[in-house]
Amino acid sequence: MNNRVIALTAGVLILACRSGVAAALCVATNGNDSHPGTDEKPFASLARARDEIRRMKAGGPLPLGGVTVEIRDGIYELARPLALTDQDSGTPIAPIVYRARRGEAVRIVGGRAVTGWQLVTDQAILKRLERAAQNKVYQADLKALGISDLQGIGNAGVYQSDPGLELFFRDQPMTLARYPNSGYLHIADVLDANGIVKSGQVQTAQAKFVCEDPRLARWVGEQGIWLHGFWFWDWADQRIPLGTVDPATRTLGLAPQSGHSYGIRKGQWFYAENVLPELDSPGEWYLDRETSILYFWPPAPLASGQAVVSIVRDPIQLNDVSNVSFRGLLIEAGRGSAMVIKGGSNVRVIGCTIRNMGNWGVKVYGGSGHGVAGCDLYQTGQGGIHLEGGDRKTLTPAGHYADNNHVHHTARWDPVYQQGITAFGVGNRLTHNLIDHVPHVAIGFSGNDQVIEYNEIHNAVFQSNDAGAIYTSPPDETWSMRGHRIRYNYLHEIRGFRGKGCFGVYLDDCFSSADISGNIFREVATAILIGGGRDNTMTNNLFIKCDRAFSIDARGLGWAKGVGEFATKELMALNYKQPPWSIRYPELLNILEDEPLAPKGNVVARNICWGGQWGSTEPKAEPYVAFRDNLVETDPLFEDESNFTLRDGSPAFKLGFQRIPFEKIGLYQSEDRASWPVARSAGSPPEP
């Protein structure tokens, strides 16, 4: 098409804008970015559609109804992130929508397909591999494919690191060559830098330790090995480069590193990764960054699927963008997070599928009214949906929301403190989500006035113990983080790492003022922990076959009394005796004169406990807790235990128990759901 025709087409679009007729652009894999973006002559890229909308806005306001960018069936490999700024915003009456054509599958890929595979024949490489891997491992030259960014493991610290480039095959994440292939090695003894036993623990940067596995001898001379371990606590993992290997004494030395560490102690567990000689089973891979050669033992014939390496970091980026939606897209195989939204307002991610990302699915920082609804998010290296916004000093809510999403099989790279969904700041909503097979926290929250309702959570907290499926996110939980509603959620099959125990709802270190009501807990180790906080209500909950219904302690009067210092400073910084704080939370006005570290104002009322144990209360906390009208060790007379309905004559009703709307909990059918019916994973996850 010549420039005159393009100009005429653009003129038609501008006239449409000025006349108030909604505009549409089209993108297709067989399109061309020199086309006008019509259905007959579509663009080839989302970036070109974005630029066309910018040009349209330069000619006048967008039409009523805004602009829809319709994307046709196909795979769209990004060479760089799709970056949107404030100039790419719509308005409330003229929004911008990027959507898959109805009934068509649109895949936005942040990676590159790997081709040119050949069986490994280099004798030097074969000698480093197990005999069983020979004639099974293939190699490809990434440099020859134009792939030069070979970032490896980086930013290794407690709780989080970054995998860099990863390999996916047949839409599944493959495993960086590791030993053992599942489970862990254990630390037999801890030594200092001079090889002296140190009674079980030393600082990590100085540590050497004994591991009795003879396999260590295969690692001599190998470069770039990392050890991923729970070095001191079972809730704090860290990746640390391997420094030295001594096969004679079966001793490993950790490379000096500056990252924060709790130290290392006898009996803890770890595994080695990024080790070419451990590429010994289907699905494992290794990248030699000196030669750019990728080695891979495919779990199925290479011709049966596509191998993709992640390239683009944060494939869709929005900065100060408002009134833009993304609908029905599949976003996958990138580094970082699929979508990162900063500032702006009313950005919506609806009915999308996000998978195989290195870090998170969707991350929101600041702004207002952003929402993630009806999405499927899985196989992420870290978490699912992060919502952060609102002003705590003014108690201005952000109004972000996550509704009707299925988040599962997350945190395959960093297993702890990478939540399925988070709500930080003020005034955000997490509702009707299904979260399962997450190794640690399913829902993390902090700040003020968060709403956590009608969610289903199961098979969570299986990688660690001292944590909860719904957990106040540390550090520095305080008396000021108030006004939360945790209601009508269903938590089940949550038992902790190796069955050693964990919590359903965990209010850590004096966290206060949460309304925990109308929830159902089935087969949860300990359903609710109130960790020394105040003004929490635990009412109208149903505890079925739980090891303990609750635990309430007075830690603020004992080992956690240090909380008082920073909690007091925070109250002062928030001007808690002035509006809006004095109006919203009048109970704080005299807290510093009212035994602030005592667990006052907690109420446990109208709960049912059946088939398990009632709770435990620390003696120092008992005088401060009000217990009334709880049904314990008395048959509640279920009409149907599968949906937790009670007979009309249930003794619970005489105590004031109110029916829990079980049928409203969890996902619901909607045209905005990415999938329906939803595929559910059953059974306990295997130990990693």
Taking the C-alpha atoms of residue 332 and residue 361, their distance in angstroms, rounded to an integer, is 9
The H or E element that residue 589 is part of is none
Taking the C-alpha atoms of residue 296 and residue 386, their distance in angstroms, rounded to an integer, is 33
In a domain, 580, yes or no: no
* Res. 50: pLDDT tops 80: yes
In a domain, 25, yes or no: yes
Of 533, 505, 501, 503, nearest to 517 by C-alpha is 505
Portion of the chain with pLDDT greater than 90, in percent: 83
Buried b (16+ CB within 10 A) or exposed e, 491-527: bbbbbbbeeebbbbbbbbbbbbbbbbbbbbbbbbbbb
Note the pLDDT tens digit of each residue in 112-136. Answer: 999 999 999 999 999 999 999 999 9
Same domain, 233 and 302: no
* Res. 2: pLDDT tops 70: no
In a domain, 326, yes or no: yes
- Segment 372-380 mean pLDDT: 98
Taking the C-alpha atoms of residue 274 and residue 284, their distance in angstroms, rounded to an integer, is 10
Domain count, the chain: 3
Q: What is the dihedral of CA 602, 606, 611, 612, to 10 degrees?
A: 10
Residue, of 24 and 258, whose pLDDT is higher: 24
* Res. 548: pLDDT tops 50: yes
Same domain, 88 and 150: no
- Segment 256-275 mean pLDDT: 83
In a domain, 647, yes or no: no
Question: Quick check: 163 and 274 in contact, CB under 8 A?
Answer: no
Assign 380 a pLDDT band (cuts: 50, 70, 90).
very high
Assign 104 a pLDDT band (cuts: 50, 70, 90).
very high
- Segment 206-225 mean pLDDT: 92
DSSP state of 238: E
Lowest mean pLDDT among 16-30, 35-49, 245-259, 425-439: 16-30
3-state secondary structure of 245: strand
Lowest mean pLDDT among 38-42, 269-273, 536-540, 557-561: 557-561
* Res. 566: pLDDT tops 90: no
* Res. 197: pLDDT tops 60: no
* Res. 7: pLDDT tops 70: no
In a domain, 522, yes or no: no
Taking the C-alpha atoms of residue 350 and residue 343, their distance in angstroms, rounded to an integer, is 19
Beta-carbon-side half-sphere exposure of residue 618 (alpha carbons within 13 Å): 16
State the pLDDT at residue 464: 84
Q: Spell out the SS3 assignment of 167-179.
A: EEECCEECEECEE
- What's the token pair of residue 649? 């004559």
* Res. 627: pLDDT tops 80: yes
* Cβ partners under 8 Å of residue 547, min gap 6: 501, 524, 525, 526, 612, 613
The H or E element that residue 420 is part of is none
* Res. 260: pLDDT tops 80: no
* Res. 646: pLDDT tops 50: yes
Assign 256 a pLDDT band (cuts: 50, 70, 90).
confident
Checking DSSP bridges between strand 602-605 and strand 371-373, what pairing results, if any? unpaired
State the pLDDT at residue 17: 35
In a domain, 172, yes or no: yes
Same domain, 100 and 121: no
* Cβ partners under 8 Å of residue 398, min gap 6: 366, 367, 368, 369, 370, 387, 388, 389, 390, 425, 426, 427, 428
Question: Quick check: 141 and 293 in contact, CB under 8 A?
Answer: yes
Residue, of 348 and 498, whose pLDDT is higher: 348
Bridge partners, residue 431, by sequence: 403, 453
State the pLDDT at residue 5: 35
Q: Give me the domain span that covers residue 163.
A: 112-177+278-307
Lowest mean pLDDT among 12-21, 226-235, 303-312: 12-21
* Res. 11: pLDDT tops 60: no
Same domain, 170 and 283: yes
In a domain, 161, yes or no: yes
State the pLDDT at residue 142: 98
Same domain, 326 and 248: no
Give the residue carrying structure tokens 């609710």. 528
Same domain, 283 and 168: yes
State the pLDDT at residue 8: 35
State the pLDDT at residue 473: 73
Same domain, 160 and 290: yes
Same domain, 236 and 96: no
* Res. 258: pLDDT tops 80: no
* Res. 247: pLDDT tops 60: yes
Evaluated on CA atoms 668, 671, 674, 676, the torsion sign reads positive
- Segment 419-444 mean pLDDT: 97
Portion of the chain with pLDDT greater than 70, in percent: 92
Same domain, 132 and 103: no
Q: What are phi and psi of 397, to 5 degrees?
A: -75, 150
Note the pLDDT tens digit of each residue in 578-592. Answer: 999 999 999 999 999
State the pLDDT at residue 56: 96
Same domain, 117 and 142: yes
Note the pLDDT tens digit of each residue in 457-499. Answer: 999 999 888 899 999 976 667 889 999 999 999 999 999 988 7
Note the pLDDT tens digit of each residue in 313-347. Answer: 999 999 999 999 999 999 999 999 999 999 999 99
What integer best gives the mean pLDDT of the chain? 92
Same domain, 125 and 225: no
Lowest mean pLDDT among 11-15, 159-163, 444-448, 566-570: 11-15
Same domain, 104 and 133: no
In a domain, 13, yes or no: yes
Of 114, 23, 102, nearest to 77 by C-alpha is 114
* Res. 558: pLDDT tops 50: yes
* Res. 19: pLDDT tops 70: no
Assign 524 a pLDDT band (cuts: 50, 70, 90).
very high
